[in-house]
Structure 1
């Protein structure tokens, strides 16, 4: 029997007829291969064939900022008027009004309070040419981003981002009482309790009641003193209240203070004239109306605790609550009695 010739091929040792058959089959497959399966041009190294556009997942998209759609006209300290978005403005208010080192939930509470206060001001502005001003004694403090970042130095990046998160994290949220935005007043630090609005301004406001506030000795300058001579006290009192009688012993000029909440002075007589704690605070440039006054025979010493008018949200109290685990909603509804945190727009 004659053996056929063999070849060494890709698949090993095969017969001549098998090689021919395989070759014909390969030609046939190649000839009829669909054109779509052959790339028009070679792909580059590492490239993958494009999958085309995927359907958009609406739930995963970032919602447009509500604050960016609201405008604020700001009266700067130099008298110029600047047009800002609500988001830009609130960033500058939070940066100016609250230390950026505070807890993020406290910063969020500040952003909500500032947003709510701004809405109230826009509805009844004190400034015909603007919605609100940058003077904290009139409206709210404000600082431009570049100025704030220059002040923060090496912390500029982290602090700037932190405040941005606080503003964005409360986008469009405000504080409402019975469906209406509130006068979201705030101040620096309390002496254990905030003060009822009626004790400071004579008007009772349902959501501005006295509540406990947890800050204390960790607050910078929590305790302060103002020392004045008898002549300095006499000059200041008579300039503002000429009917006061300061002719006798200086030790008898001040009566026993009446305190409403904690140690905050509600009223006190000075030279026979009854003044509120706030009036005495203003008269002698005290940091708060939580004070005692002593005469040692040569000078008066006012010993003061806390800083600010004492009504509404304590900023250092908010930070203390945040450190204890409270979120911004819990902080706000604690300081503003009977309110809710919800959308303003």
Structure 2
């Protein structure tokens, strides 16, 4: 056997050590080279997988006006954005399903009655015109740690009600909804010009003490009140004592103000609500230190489905069909796709 001298042993050991030091970074990097050096962007960990709608909602494509841009998306994709914006994601699953069906129905009603956008778009994301809408990115930012749970609930509510629409006489209804009522909803004719057979006053079981801002208070100085009212109702005479400015209020079956005399001019309670920015037309008032103070119950116009009422019904065991046929009189809930919108 050839004897190895100590010097040669030292040189060999040094060479081996240098080789290990050179190869070690490659050993660590190689398994992950695609992630480190790939030109493709990796999805953010918080970003959910793309929503896949049901069969009926998936084959129906809308032109959605979002800001100044018209975007094409399936009905299912649009509805997920609407339900995110219109109902708290913490609500019961059956309440969220009821909201999804109401939003789908409202969308088809708007389209079939001409909508607001002509040939430009079928629907928009402006709540003052059509329905509110929020992107997944923005919703996740709002939801924080609950984002995955909430997004999954809303997507399931849309998918599990695929194509379901509220019909009266075989046609989609004007499926309006509001946040909360004062024990009863209002008939359409009590709020707007025309009555509708499926938008009648019905009981609503929301628990007021558990609803944020269910009871609210709004106070106006005499000058503030005069300025707001005269801008909308210039014929009103608000020159006398403040105690005479509001008189002869008439309430409807839901306890909301149907009409009231403001400075001698009879206006709808819903009109005064709009003028003053009150949360609903279910209000009373009194004079405190010369100011007009309004005490308001509920939130919204009060017509159609109460969202907090739907939540309470769901907690009590009702499914989405029971909720919808309660709030919309004489309707059915069935699969429906307008021929004109099928892609």
Q: Structure 2 length normalisation: TM-score? A: 0.81
When structure 1 is superposed on structure 2, of 253-262 and 187-196 the one drifting more is: 253-262
Query: Any conservation in 1 of the 2:201–2:254 contact (CA below 8 Å)?
Result: no
- Within the candidate set 207, 213, 231, 2:223 is matched to 231
1:297 CA displacement:
4.0
Q: How far apart, CA to CA, are the structure 2 residues paired with 1:242 and 1:162?
A: 49
2:280 matches 1:288? yes
Query: Aligned residue for 2:331?
Result: 339
CA distance in 1: counterparts of 2:288 and 2:244, whole angstroms: 12
Aligned pairs for 1:104-123 (under 5 A) are: 104-123=93-112
Question: Contact 1:292–1:304 at 8 Å: present in 2 too?
Answer: yes
For the residue of structure 1 that corresponds to 2:209, the secondary structure is: coil
Q: After superposition, what is the alpha-carbon deviation per residue over 1:168-223, rounded to whole angstroms, capped at 9, x for unaligned?
A: 11000000011111000001110111011001112110000000101122111001
**Any idea what SS the aligned residue of 2:106 has?**
helix
Q: Give the secondary structure class of the aligned counterpart of 1:255.
A: strand
Would the aligned equivalents of 2:54 and 2:159 in 1 still touch at CA under 8 Å?
no
Q: Comparing both structures, which one devotes a greater share of its residues to helix?
A: 2
Write the distance in 1 (CA, Å) between the matches of 2:149 and 2:272: 41
The answer to whether residue 87 in structure 2 is matched with residue 95 in structure 1 is no
Q: How many residues matched?
A: 283
Equivalent position to 1:187, from 167, 178, 189: 178
Deviations 1:54-104 (A, max 9, x none): xxxxxxxxx96210100111111x311111111100000000000000000
1:67 equivalent in alignment to 2:62: no
Residue from 117, 123, 133 that aligns with 1:127 = 117
Q: Deviations over 1:284-310 (max 9, x none)?
A: 000000001111242010111111011
- 1:271-296, CA deviations, whole angstroms, 9 ceiling, x for partnerless residues? 00001011000110000000011112
Question: Which runs of at least 4 in structure 1 moved beyond 6 Å after TM superposition?
Answer: none
Q: Quick one: distance in 1 between partners of 2:126 and 2:279?
A: 18
Cα deviations across residues 287-338 of structure 1 (Å, max 9, x unaligned)? 0000011112420101111110110000111001000000000000000000
Pick one of 159, 169, 172 that aligns with 2:150.
Answer: 159
Q: What is the CA–CA distance in structure 1 between the aligned matches of 2:319 and 2:73, rounded to whole Å?
A: 28
| Counterpart in the other structure of 1:142 | 133
Per chain length, whose mean CA-contact separation is higher, i.e. which structure has more relative contact order (CA < 8 Å, sep 6+)?
2
Q: Would you say 1:311 and 2:303 are equivalent positions?
A: yes
Q: TM-score, normalised by structure 1?
A: 0.80
Query: Per the alignment, do residues 252 and 111 of structure 1 end up closer, same or farther by CA in structure 2, a change over 3 Å counting?
Result: same
Structure whose alpha-carbon radius of gyration is higher: 1
Residues 1:252 and 2:244 aligned together: yes
